[in-house]
Amino acid sequence: MEILKPAMAGTLESSDAQVTVEPGNGKIELSLESSVMNQYGRQIRQTVLETLDRLGVTSANVTMVDKGALDCTIKARVECAVMRSCGKSEASIPWGGMIK
Amino acid sequence: MIPRPRPERFRLRRTMMFMNAQKPGLIKDAYIYGVDSIMLDLEDAVAENQKDAARFSLYHALKTIDYGDTEVIVRINGLDTPHWQEDIRVCVAGGADGIRIAKCESANDVKTVEAAVEKAEEEFGVEKGRTLLMAALESPKGILNAYEICAASERMFGVAISGGDFRKCMQTTPQRDGIDMVVARGQMLIAARAAGIQCFDTVFTNLDDQEGFEAEVRQNKAMGFDGKSLINPKQIRYVHEVFAPTEKEVRQAEKIVSAFRENAAKGLGVFTVDGKMIDIAFIPGAERTLRLARACGMYEGDLV
Amino acid sequence: MINKVGRDIPDYLLKNGKEVYQGKNYMDGKYIQKAAPKTRRYEKPQESKIAESIVKALKDCGAKSGMTFSFHHHLRDGDFVVNMVMKAAIEELGLDNLTIAATSLGSAHDPIADYIEQGKVVGIQTSGIRGRMGEVVSAGKLPTPAIIRSHGGRPRAIEGGEVHIDIAFIAAPTSDCVGNCRGIGGKSNCGSLGYAMSDAKYADHVVVITDCLVDFPNMPASVEAIDVDAVVVVDSIGNPKKIASAAARISQNPRDLMMAENVAKVIASTPYFKEGFSFQTGVGGPSLAANLFLEKYMDERNIKMGWAIGGICGPMVELLKKGKVGKVIDVQDFDLDAVNSINQTPNHFEMSASQYANPANKGAFVNKLDFVVLAALEIDTGFNVNVLTGSDGVLRGAPGGHPDTAAGSKCCIIVTPLVRGRMATVCEHVVTVTTPGDCVDVLVTDYGIAVNPLRPDLIKCLDDAGIKHVTIEELKEKAYSLVGRPDDLEWEDKVVAVLEARDGTILDVVRKIKPYHV
């Protein structure tokens, strides 16, 4: 998927994460801030990168502010932000395909 | 990935608790309070511009969280919105046990949803007929059409009234004695029983009025409801207490079921228990009492 | 050297007779040589001890660089006194090389972090440490490790001379002109002054700071004029809104209530739950809510609580007033209901920290305690509890009376949600052991109850009462299945804080954390 315009998903509430995606320069730039960085920073980063990979995103600036979200929430927020940036978040979502 | 067993159409549903599908902190472990069913809400709890985000959260919650024996139902957006079709796709793809149809007014509404569910089951390779349905009646028209709605589909397990919208239509407000909704509740109960499905009462929203809540729960039980929709875990315990059978009812049911099985083995269809004549018509009720007793921790035998 | 709870204590800390933790009651029966302070005689009758400023009082008491100043934390997050005194000492008198020995420090003391960074404050001894101070100490900005002690460990260390206080500062809601202090009657009331009592008795000099001067004699005094050198009157000793909340309300959070109900169930299943039982609870959500459910069981069985101790707040005062508890004895007050009750409501008394929890005296209240209900930041499969460091390894908590009550009580119940956000509360190894597992008996979480295998008697009680329980390993696995297994924290060698067990042995150390960078 190609990141067409800046988009955001999620909130800054506890147990949630806020993800912003913007068009990139041919690679993934990830900026991560987390309340559980020392214990889960590596795993969160991996989850975000895997999710982007599954969505076929190869060029994007991604910012995530994590408030202790579980992996399932992190995935949901990244997917929603990416789909929103492509204008494809409302219908015909590939559940179980790209989204899993 | 948590595989969920095939949903059971007529299981115990004393309590159904609403949870905003968009709030990760809420949905991650709503089952710990011992509620029978949780109702993940894509409708009123989710803001119009977050409907898409809520579906992504819901999908991963359904796929990741082990809800155990707790039933997982999703309330989808109304058929008059642009959201309901994608709502159904995500419910089926994620493996929700059932779907609650908001603002249902006719058998046709049920059939419309059923067709979309069937299509989604095909699309996502889900066993046909797996996804159950229930309808929320929120308008006078819905109440008047209650029977055709209840009988509209083999997937229908129950029907519920939604008090907020219904009272607005009727130009009334909640009354202490329930007079505002007594006719609607009664009509819906009759329709549900006639169609052989379950029937659930609306939420009680004033969390500070425990006395009013308890009175309403007792009335629900007296009227014959199967259960009640809830908005807060602290409401669960009282409903379970009120809907629990008495010790005497449990022992009686145990006697009836075991006597029936013994006599049936001998080829006898009619017999007496404690001087009372019993036949097969008593069995479903007695078995329901035992299942309820088991859920309430009052029965540990192996008859059900 | 590896201690009884499996923690590696660097040998260089084991000097001057310091030992590593050896297990519960290791020091029992040993003798302690008490340290007497060197105090000034005031033979000539004095009209008043009022000094015109903190600087003047400091000078009168011979304040100089290298000294240890003590403070107490009854004014909690509303405290102005620590910052006021340290500013006068450092910025006006130009002192440095100072050590702060406080009963606890919180976010009210963020400015002290600057003095640590400037090298003016070189030592911290406290029970609690939070906010910016926690961050700078965790970052290794002190030349020597901070020393963390429990509320009982602190008076033990003071009385035994391990901590020598040069000047003790008493934040007094009311004082008369010669230094009789009370925690009530003024504009910044805090109720009990229990933590200040040992300080006043064992410090060389004692300075009272008050914002409400009252007529002599201010009786009954919590800190007595016989121990006081000077009284300073200031505009305000603290922010009343942050000293005591209007009323500690019992949580309405359904998760807290569910756990609290299970705590009460566990209590009611033990043989200690009988007429005259004794009880202490924390003020955290589920701990405090346990009061509510306990009352129900007391009514059902028609029994009354003999006495309660602790930090006290409204719900316990309410029980006292209803006649459901015989006596309340109090080292600190958390809300206005408690502040307004101490020494006013019959049978609501004040006690010192030593009387409350000191393991080296001859009979602290904690030793007679039946039940204590406590919270935890983390608890591991050995039932070791951490209430000091966040799971990111940064200092942000307080052992307080936790290790003392856990050790003294017959049944110590920890109540905590299984996970907080993404953090597993029940884990494999706590970051820091603040209360050793041999003092902890039962764990109640929102996902189930576990009993310490060291207590087969309690396991039987729960079984007999039909209360379901699982092993703590199962709870830990459940937690990790929800949040994922955390990566191990990475540490540098440098020790930033030493955690003393209540008996004075070394229970654990906190090292400098290596942060993870993406």
Per-residue pLDDT tens digits for B109-150: 999 999 999 999 999 999 999 999 999 999 999 999 999 999
% chain C with pLDDT above 70: 99
Contact C252 B234 (CB under 8 A): yes
Structural domain span for residue A57:
7-85
pLDDT higher than 90, residue B298: no
pLDDT band at C246 (very low <50, low <70, confident <90, very high): low
Is residue B297 predicted with pLDDT exceeding 90? no
C271 and C211 within one domain: no
Nearest CA in chain B to C478: B66
- Is residue A24 a part of any domain in this protein? yes
Residues in A touching B90 (Cβ below 8 Å) = 93, 95
Q: Is residue A95 part of a domain?
A: no
Residues C518, A31: C-beta atoms closer than 8 Å:
yes
Average pLDDT of C228-243?
Answer: 95
Q: Which residues of chain B are within 8 Å of residue C447 when distances are taken between CB atoms?
A: 29, 32
**Rounded to the nearest 10 degrees, what angle do helices B84-94 and B51-64 cross at?**
10
The lowest-confidence range among B193-197, B233-237, C168-172 is B233-237
Q: Which residues of B touch C257 (CB under 8 A)?
A: 234
Report yes or no on A27 lying in a domain: yes
Whether residue C498 lies inside any domain: the answer is no
C220 prior amide bond cis, ω within 30: yes
Question: pLDDT tens-digit profile of B248-288?
Answer: 889 999 999 988 888 888 888 888 888 888 888 888 889 88
Same domain, C108 and C161: yes
Interface contact flag, B57 A75, Cβ < 8 Å: no
- The secondary structure element, H or E, covering residue C123 is strand C121-126
* Same domain for C288 and C187: no
> Where a domain ends, among C184, C210, C242?
C242
- Of the ranges C248-252, C287-291, C484-488, which one carries the lowest mean pLDDT score? C248-252
Give the pLDDT band of residue C251 (cuts 50, 70, 90).
Answer: confident
* CATH number assigned to the domain covering B15-243: 3.20.20.60
- Single out the residue in C242, C262, C288 at which a domain terminates: C242
Is position C29 within any domain?
Answer: no
Q: What percent of chain C has pLDDT over 90?
A: 92
Whether pLDDT at C438 is above 90: yes
Distance from CA of C484 to the nearest CA of A (A): 8
Nearest-by-CA chain C residue for A47: C484
* Least confident interval from B87-91, B277-281, C301-305, C402-406: B277-281
Which residues of chain C are at the B interface, by a Cβ-Cβ cutoff of 8 Å?
A: 252, 254-255, 257-258, 421, 446-447, 481-482
- 3-state SS, residue B187: helix
Total number of domains constituting chain C: 2
Can you tell me the mean pLDDT for A69-96? 94
* CA distances for C252 relative to B185, C242, C259, angstroms: 31, 22, 12
pLDDT at B302: 84
Instruction: Give the sheet arrangement for strand C448-451, strand by strand.
Output: C348-350, C325-333, C305-312, C277-281, C371-374, C411-415, C442-445, C448-451
- Whether C39 is in a domain gets the answer no
Does residue A1 fall inside a structural domain? no
Does C226 share its domain with C91?
yes
Please give the residue of chain C at the shortest CA–CA distance from B65: C482
**Domain with C181 in it: what CATH number?**
3.40.1080.10
Partner chains of A (3+ C-beta pairs under 8 Å): B, C
Q: Confidence class of residue C135 from pLDDT cuts 50, 70 and 90? A: very high
Q: Do A84 and B52 touch (CB under 8 A)?
A: yes
Residue closest to A34 by CA, chosen among A65, A8, A10, A11:
A65
Contacts A–B by Cβ distance under 8 A: 68
End-to-end CA distance of chain C: 35
In order, the DSSP letters of C434-503 are: SB-GGG--EEEETTEEEE-TT-HHHHHHHHHTT---B-HHHHHHHHHHHH-PPPPPEEEEEEEEEEE-TT
Q: Would you state the pLDDT for residue B138?
A: 95
Closest residue in chain A to residue C483, using alpha carbons only: A70
Question: Chain B residues with CB inside 8 Å of A77's CB?
Answer: 53, 56
Q: Which residue has the higher pLDDT, B78 or C517?
A: B78
CATH code (residue A26): 3.30.230.10
CB contact under 8 A, C258 and B233: yes
Stretch C296-311: mean pLDDT:
96
Do C372 and C334 sit in the same domain of this protein?
A: yes
Residues with Cβ within 8 Å of B244's Cβ and at least 6 positions away in sequence, in order, are B292, B293, B296, B298
| Nearest CA distance, B291 vs chain A (angstrom) | 34
User: How far apart (Å, rounded) are the C-alpha atoms in residues C213 and C221?
Assistant: 13
Predicted pLDDT at B169: 93
Instruction: Name the residue ranges covered by the structural domains of chain B.
Output: 15-243, 247-295
Residues C389, C468 within the same domain: yes
Report which residue type is found at B142.
Answer: G
Q: Which residues of C touch A39 (CB under 8 A)?
A: 391-392, 423, 486-487, 489
- Residue A20 domain-assigned (yes or no): yes
Count of structural domains within chain A: 1
Q: What is the pLDDT, as a whole number, of residue B247? A: 87
Residues of C with Cβ-Cβ distance to B233 under 8 angstroms: 254-255, 258
Lowest mean pLDDT among A21-30, B244-253, C239-248, C299-308: C239-248
Range of the domain at C69: 54-242
What digits encode the pLDDT tens for the residues C342-400? 988 999 999 999 999 999 999 999 999 999 999 999 999 999 999 999 988 999 999 99
Average pLDDT over residues C276-290: 91
Residues of chain B with Cβ-Cβ distance to C481 below 8 Å are 66
For chain B, give the mean pLDDT.
Answer: 92
Q: For residue B3, is pLDDT > 80?
A: no
pTM: 0.91
Q: Which residue of B has its CA nearest to C256?
A: B234
Considering only the beta carbons, identify the residue of B24, B56, B124 that sits closest to A96.
Answer: B124
The 3 state secondary structure assigned to B144-156 is HCHHHHHCCCCCE
Q: Kindly identify which residue of chain A lies nearest to residue C490, measuring between CA atoms.
A: A38
User: How much is the average pLDDT of B58-66?
Assistant: 93
Q: Which of B2, B29, B64 is the mutation pick for testing C, counting most C CBs within 10 A?
A: B29
Looking at the partner chain, which of A10, A75, A90 has a beta carbon nearest the beta carbon of B52?
Answer: A90
Q: Which residues of B touch C249 (CB under 8 A)?
A: none
SS3 B157: strand
Nearest to A40 among C482, C484, C517 (CB): C484
Confidence of residue C518 (pLDDT cuts 50, 70, 90): low
Distance (Å) of CA C381 to CA C99, C415, C427, C429, C477: 37, 15, 7, 7, 10
Is C62 inside a domain boundary? Answer: yes
* C128 & C154 share domain: yes
Claim to verify: residue C410 and residue C481 sit in the same structural domain: yes
The residue of chain A with its CA nearest to that of B56 is A76
**In Å, how far is B115's CA from the nearest CA of chain A?**
17
In a domain, A93, yes or no: no
User: Which residue in B27, B32, B33, B239 has the most chain C C-beta atoms within 10 A of its own C-beta, making it the best mutation to test that interface?
Assistant: B32
Task: Report yes or no on C165 lying in a domain.
Answer: yes
**CB contact A89 to B (< 8 Å):** yes
Q: Which chain B residues are Cβ-neighbours of A96 within 8 angstroms?
A: 93, 124
Q: Residue C285: what pLDDT?
A: 84
pLDDT in tens, B146-203: 999 999 999 999 999 999 999 999 999 999 899 999 999 999 999 999 999 999 999 9
Strands C371-374 and C277-281: parallel
For chain A, say whether B81 makes contact (Cβ under 8 Å). Answer: no
Verify whether the Cβ–Cβ distance A70 to B25 is below 8 Å: no
* CA dist list (Å): C141 to C134, C138, C390: 10, 8, 18
